[in-house]
Amino acid sequence: MSVRRLAAEQPKSFSFNKKNEEWAKKQIAKYPEGRQASAVIPLLWQAQKQAGGWLPEAAIRHVADMLGMAHIRVLEVATFYTMFNLEPVGEYFIQVCGTTPCALRGAEDLIKVCKKRIGEQREVSKDGKFSWLEVECLGACVNAPMVQINDDYYEDLTPELLEKLMNDLKAGKKVKVGPQIDRQYSAPSGGLTTLKGEEK
Amino acid sequence: MTKIVVDGKEIEVPAEYTLLQACEAAGAEIPRFCFHERLSIAGNCRMCLVELKGSPKPVASCAWAVRDCRPGPNGEPPVVNTKTPMVKKAREGVMEFLLINHPLDCPICDQGGECDLQDQAMAYGVDKSRYHENKRAVEDKYIGPLVKTIMTRCIHCTRCVRFTTEVAGVAELGAIGRGEDMEITTYLEQAMSSELQGNVIDLCPVGALTSKPYAFQARPWELTKTESVDAMDAAGSNIRVDVRGREVQRILPRLHEDVNEEWISDKSRFIWDGLRTQRLDKPYVRIKGKLVRASWSDAFAAIADKMRGLDAKKVGAIVGDLSTTEEAFAIKALMDAIGSPNLDCRQDGSVLHPKYGRASYLFNATIAGIEQADGLMIIGANPRREAPVINARIRKRWRAGDFKIGVIGEKADLTYDYAYLGAGPETLADFVKHKKAQLKKQIWLIGQGALARPDGEAVLSMFAKSVHSVGGIADGWNGFSVLHTAASRVGALDVGAVPGEGGLTATQMAKAKSLGVLFLLGADEIEVDSDAFVVYIGTHGDRGAHRADVILPAAAYTEKSGIFVNTEGRPQLAKRAAFAPGDAREDWAILRALSDVIGHKLPWDSLSALRQRMFAAHPHLAKLDQIVPADASQLAALSKLGGEAKKTGFKSPVIDFYLTNPIARASAIMAECSRLAAGKLPQAAE
C-alpha cells in the first residue's frame, strides 16, 4: 500500500440520484438520532458506485453534508479504507491479490498480463474498460491465484485464463464467477477425495 | 476508592482513575506522548506501557482504568510495576519504533530543547538504531498562517486532532490515510479557522507543528522567561513572555486552572510582532499641524502651557483598554488633584458604573464556576470573539452534557449548540416577569454589546430584573455575569475611573466642543472629534496618536509591571518582561512627571509607593489572584433603574477578533489572520 491521494482532476459537483438518495435516507434512518455519522461507509460506497467505481472529492463533501459531519472526518474514512478508490478506475477494476499464497501460485504472472494489456497500476486502459491494482490478501487463498473484478472473485487463474476472462468481459460476454477451472467452490480440484460414497 | 499496588507501594485511588493517574499518584513517572489531561484518551503512542500483574503483555496505562484490573486470586489489590526490566524493555521498544521514521533534524528543529521526544529518548530510549532502511518522508501541509508544519517529524499522537475537535470546537484537523501513510492535515489544506489554534503548537510533543512567526527566531535556552498576564481580552489569561535581548520573541500560556487552564487565544499568543512595529519611541509635539519630534521637557512644557489658567472643568481624561489598574488610579488621583470630574474608562460607552456596586460589573459566576453551572444565557455577547478562553470553558461544560444555553443577540457559530431566543431587548423583556426556572445554577452572561448603547441602563435594569425573576441569584450562587472586552476595565472601575459629579463620559468628551485639554491614556478605540488639545500617552501610532497634539511614548503591557483585574474581578500582576523602546517610559512615571509639571504633584515617587496608596484605598486589589466576592444584594437596586429600551438588536462590539487594540492593529500576523478570517486572503495552495 502506498500514500493515497485524491485524484488531480475532479468533477465539480456530486449529488446522489433520486434512487440513491432514497436508499441513503433509509440507511441513515437505521441509526438513532445524533448517530447519523454511522451511515458514512454505506453512503460512501453507494456514492462510489454511482460515480463509476471511484469516489470524487465532491462526493466526500456531499456525504459529509448529508450526515452533518465535518468534511475532514469523511475524508479520513475515505482515505483509510482501500475499498474506496480515490482515482478513476476502469469499467472493470481488477484487484490482483499479491500476497504470499497467491504469489506462490503465480500471481506475478497475472500481474504481467495486466501490465501487458492495461499498463501500470492505477492507469485506466485507453478504451476505459480496465484498470488494475495489486492488493493485499483477499482471503481466497485456497483458490490462489485470484483476482477481484468489481464485486466478484475470479479464482484458480492462469495467465491464459485471465486473458480470456478479460477478452470476454471486453466483448460483453457472460462470464463465470468463482473458480475458472473445473472445481466446485473451494472443494478439491480434480474431484472429491473424500465423502465419495453413500453414507453407510 | 480502590486499593492498588504501584511499585510495591499500596495506595488508594478512585476506581475511575487510569493506571497512569494511579501511578502518578504513587509518585511513579510515566512517559507519554498521546495522553493529555485535557483531551480524550487515544492510547496510540504506547509510550506509557506498564506491567500489570496477571496480564501477559504490558498494558497502556493511559487507557486502562483501575477498575478494569482484576484482583489477585485471594482478592489482593492489583499490582502494577513501572520499574521492572519488562517495562524498561517495552519503553525502549516503543521508542525505537517512534524513532524509525522520525528525522534526525533536531539541530534545525524549532522544538529542539523543549521537545518531549528528545527528552524521553534521552530518558527512556537506547543510544543506537538498528534501522537501516530509508525513513518515511511526508509532504508538509499548509494549515494556516500561524502553525508551521514539518510533517515528517509527526509521530501521530493525534493530540492536535483531538484538541481542535474537542476544545476548540472546529473539526478541521484530521488524520488521513492509515498505518505508515497516516498524515495529519486539514481538509484539502485549508487554513484552520479557530481562534485557539495556536495551542496545537504547545500540544505537539515533537516539532511537527511549530509556530510559523517564531520559526528560527530563538532557542528556548536563550530566552528570558517572565510570568505575566495577558491584556488582549478581559479573561486575564496567564502567560509567559519569552524575551531575547530587548524583543519579545514569543508568548506562551501558563497554567491557571481557574482562568485559562492551559490555553490562550491566538491574539494573546501571536501579538508580539505588534510590539515591535508602529511604536512611539519619542515624544512628539504638533507644530503648525505637523507632529514633530521633541524632548520630554518640550512636550511637558507644551502641555503646561495649555494647562496654565485653564478651568479645571475643561480638562478631561480617558483611560484606554490596555492600561493597568495603577495607571487608572494615578490618573484618577491626578484628575482629582486638578479638580476635574471629567474622567472615564468606558471608551465604548458602556453604562457599567461602580455606583451600582462591584457586583454590577463583575463576572460573578467566575470562569471556573461555568463548570458547575447548569444553564447559561448569553445576552449581547459573542464569547468566541470577545474571550475565546472563556468560550472554550463554556464549550467544555457543554460537552459534559446537561447544559442548557440560550442566546439573545447575534446568531453566530459559538462552537456549541444553543437555543436562539431573539435579537434584542424585547426578547430580554420576556424574562423580566418570568417564573423561576428549574435550574439551580444559572449563569446570565451579558456582554458590552448590550450595555454599550444609549439605552444601556434600561437594558442593564431589565437584565438585573430577569436574573432575579428566573432565580439566577440564589444562596451561594450569583449568576449575574458581565463579560468585559477590555483588560483594563474592571480595574479602572474598581478604582473609580468614571465621571464624577457633573463630569463628562468618554463619549461626551470625545465630542465636546468646550474641552480645553484631553488626556488619552492609551485610548485608541474612540474617535476624538473635539477641538481640545489632545495629549496621548500610549504605545502605538494608532488612532489616538494621529489625533494627538502631544504624544508621550509609554510602555506596552509586556514592558511594565501592573495589576490587571480580569472580568471575574481577579487582580493579577503582570510583570515587566522587556524595556520600552527609545525614550518611552512607564505610564505611571509619565503621569507622575506630568503631575509635577502642571503643578499638581502626585504623592508618590515609585511604583511600589503608588501601589501602596492604591491598596490602602482599594484593599481587595492587594489580594492578588483572589476573587473577593461582590455583594449580590447591591444588584436589587439595579432592577429599580427602569428606563425604556429600544428595539434594536444587540451587536457584539468585537467585529474583528484579530484587530481589537493598537498592538494588534500594528501586527502583521494579526492583519493576515484578519484578512484570512474575512475571506479576503487567497489561500496558499502548496
Q: Is the pLDDT of residue B592 over 60?
A: yes
A72 interface with B at CB cutoff 8 Å: yes
B172, B181, B188 member nearest A3 (Cβ): B181
A29 interface with B at CB cutoff 8 Å: no
pLDDT for the residue B681: 62
Answer whether A76 sits within 8 Å of B179, measured CB to CB.
Answer: no
Measuring CA to CA, which residue among B214, B216, B239 is closest to residue B226?
Answer: B239
pLDDT for the residue A200: 67
Q: How do strand B562-565 and strand B550-553 relate by DSSP bridges?
A: unpaired
Answer whether B171 sits within 8 Å of A70, measured CB to CB.
Answer: yes
Other C-beta atoms within 10 Å of A23: how many?
A: 15
pLDDT digits 0-9 by tens, A26-72: 999 999 999 999 999 999 999 999 999 999 999 999 999 999 999 99
| Crossing angle for the helix pair B85-100 and B116-124, to the nearest 10 degrees | 140
Answer whether A75 sits within 8 Å of B176, measured CB to CB.
Answer: yes
Answer whether B174 sits within 8 Å of A72, measured CB to CB.
Answer: yes
CA dihedral B303, B304, B306, B311 (to 10 degrees): 120
pLDDT for the residue B685: 45
Secondary structure in 3-state letters for chain A: CCCCCCCCCCCCCCCCCHHHHHHHHHHHHCCCCCCHHHHHHHHHHHHHHHCCCCCCHHHHHHHHHHHCCCHHHHHHHHHHCCCCCCCCCCCEEEEEECCHHHHHCCHHHHHHHHHHHCCCCCCECCCCCEEEEEECCCCCHHHCCCEEECCEEEECCCHHHHHHHHHHHHHCCCCCCEECCCCCCCCCCCCCCCCCCCCC
Residues 6+ apart with CB under 8 A from B220: B113, B114, B242
Tell me which H or E stretch contains B134: none
Answer whether A72 sits within 8 Å of B179, measured CB to CB.
Answer: no
Contact B563, B572 (CB under 8 A): yes
Quote the CA–CA distance of B21 and B10 in Å, as a whole number: 14
Q: Is the pLDDT of residue A195 over 90?
A: no
pLDDT for the residue A1: 56
How far B138 CA lies from chain A's nearest CA (Å)?
10
Quote the CA–CA distance of B548 and A73 in Å, as a whole number: 53
DSSP state for residue B165 in the 8-state scheme: I
Contact B510, B528 (CB under 8 A): yes
Q: Which residues of chain B neighbour A40 with C-beta distances below 8 Å?
A: none
Residues 6+ apart with CB under 8 A from B246: B578, B579, B581
How far A88 CA lies from chain B's nearest CA (Å)?
18
pLDDT for the residue B682: 60
pLDDT for the residue B683: 54
pLDDT for the residue A190: 82
Contact B119, B660 (CB under 8 A): no
Other C-beta atoms within 10 Å of B667: how many?
A: 27
pLDDT digits 0-9 by tens, B664-675: 999 999 999 999
Nearest CA in chain B to A73: B174
Exposure letters A128-162 (e unless 16+ CB within 10 A, then b): eebbbbbbeebebbbbbbbbbbeeebbbbbbbebb
Residues 38-57 of A with CB under 8 A from B: 57
**Which residue has cell 455575569?**
B481
pLDDT for the residue B128: 85
Answer whether A70 sits within 8 Å of B187, measured CB to CB.
Answer: yes
pLDDT digits 0-9 by tens, B300-316: 999 999 999 899 999 99
Quote the CA–CA distance of B661 and B93 in Å, as a whole number: 51
Q: Is the pLDDT of residue B204 over 50?
A: yes
Give the pLDDT band of residue B686 (cuts 50, 70, 90). Answer: very low
Query: Going edge to edge, which strands form the sheet with B2-6?
Result: B9-13, B2-6, B79-81, B49-52, B59-60
pLDDT for the residue B108: 95
Q: How do strand B473-474 and strand B477-478 relate by DSSP bridges?
A: antiparallel
Nearest CA in chain B to A58: B188
Give the pLDDT band of residue A194 (cuts 50, 70, 90). Answer: confident
Residues 6+ apart with CB under 8 A from A128: A90, A91
Q: Is the pLDDT of residue A74 over 80?
A: yes
Q: Which residues of chain A neighbour B174 with C-beta distances below 8 Å?
A: 70, 72-73, 75-76
pLDDT digits 0-9 by tens, A91-128: 999 999 999 999 999 999 999 999 999 999 999 999 99
Q: Which residues of chain B neighbour A73 with C-beta distances below 8 Å?
A: 171, 174
Contact A176, A168 (CB under 8 A): no
Nearest CA in chain B to A4: B177
Which ipTM did the prediction report? 0.90
How large is the average pLDDT for residues B475-495? 95
Distance from CA of residue B230 to its chain's centroid? 6
Burial group, residue A182, by CB count within 10 angstroms (0-12, 13-18, 19+): exposed
Quote the CA–CA distance of B517 and B549 in Å, as a whole number: 10
Give the pLDDT band of residue A147 (cuts 50, 70, 90). Answer: very high
Answer whether A4 sits within 8 Å of B188, measured CB to CB.
Answer: no
Contact B665, B659 (CB under 8 A): yes
Measuring CA to CA, which residue among A87, A61, A56, A55 is closest to residue A74?
Answer: A61
Contact B498, B345 (CB under 8 A): yes
How large is the average pLDDT for residues B491-507? 94
How far A69 CA lies from chain B's nearest CA (Å)?
9
Q: Any idea how long chain A is?
A: 200
Percent of chain B surpassing pLDDT 90: 91
Q: Which residues of chain B neighbour A37 with C-beta distances below 8 Å?
A: none
Cell of B612: 501602596
Which three-class secondary structure state does DSSP give residue B202?
helix
A71 interface with B at CB cutoff 8 Å: yes
Contact B11, B4 (CB under 8 A): yes
Q: Which residues of chain B neighbour A10 with C-beta distances below 8 Å?
A: none
Other C-beta atoms within 10 Å of B209: how many?
A: 29
Burial group, residue B631, by CB count within 10 angstroms (0-12, 13-18, 19+): exposed
How far A146 CA lies from chain B's nearest CA (Å)?
25
How far B148 CA lies from chain A's nearest CA (Å)?
19
Q: Which residues of chain B neighbour A80 with C-beta distances below 8 Å?
A: 176-178
pLDDT for the residue B110: 95
Q: Is the pLDDT of residue A15 over 50?
A: yes
Question: What single-letter amino acid sits at B128?
Answer: K
B178, B399, B413: best to mutate for the A interface, most A CBs within 10 A: B178
β-bridge mates for residue B315, sequence order: B517
Quote the CA–CA distance of A169 and A179 in Å, as a whole number: 16
DSSP state for residue B256 in the 8-state scheme: B
Q: Which residues of chain B neighbour A2 with C-beta distances below 8 Å?
A: 181
Answer whether A4 sits within 8 Å of B187, measured CB to CB.
Answer: no
A4 interface with B at CB cutoff 8 Å: yes
Q: How do strand B550-553 and strand B533-538 relate by DSSP bridges?
A: parallel
Cell of B215: 520559526
Phi, psi of B609 (to 5 degrees): -65, -40
The DSSP-derived string for B556-568 is -TTSS-EEEE-TT
A8 interface with B at CB cutoff 8 Å: no
Percent of chain A surpassing pLDDT 90: 87
β-bridge mates for residue B10, sequence order: B5
Nearest CA in chain B to A57: B188
Q: Is the pLDDT of residue B495 over 80?
A: yes
Residues 6+ apart with CB under 8 A from B568: B236, B259, B362, B363, B364, B366, B367, B627
Q: Which residues of chain B neighbour A75 with C-beta distances below 8 Å?
A: 174, 176, 187
Average pLDDT, chain B: 94
A31 interface with B at CB cutoff 8 Å: no
Residues 6+ apart with CB under 8 A from B334: B317, B591, B594, B595, B600, B602
Measuring CA to CA, which residue among B398, B402, B456 is closest to residue B425?
Answer: B456
Quote the CA–CA distance of B207 and B118 in Å, as a whole number: 10
Answer whether B176 sits within 8 Å of A71, measured CB to CB.
Answer: no
Which three-class secondary structure state does DSSP give residue B492?
helix
Q: Is the pLDDT of residue A199 over 80?
A: no
Cell of B441: 445554577
Give the pLDDT band of residue A3 (cuts 50, 70, 90). Answer: confident
A4, A71, A80 member nearest B187 (Cβ): A71
pLDDT digits 0-9 by tens, B614-630: 999 999 999 999 999 99
Question: What single-letter amino acid sits at B167?
Answer: V
Measuring CA to CA, which residue among B449, B451, B462 is closest to residue B361?
Answer: B451
A1 interface with B at CB cutoff 8 Å: yes
Other C-beta atoms within 10 Å of A84: how many?
A: 19
Measuring CA to CA, which residue among B203, B216, B277 is closest to residue B249?
Answer: B216
Other C-beta atoms within 10 Å of B239: how many?
A: 26
How far A72 CA lies from chain B's nearest CA (Å)?
5
pLDDT for the residue B641: 86
**pTM higher than 0.90, yes or no?**
yes
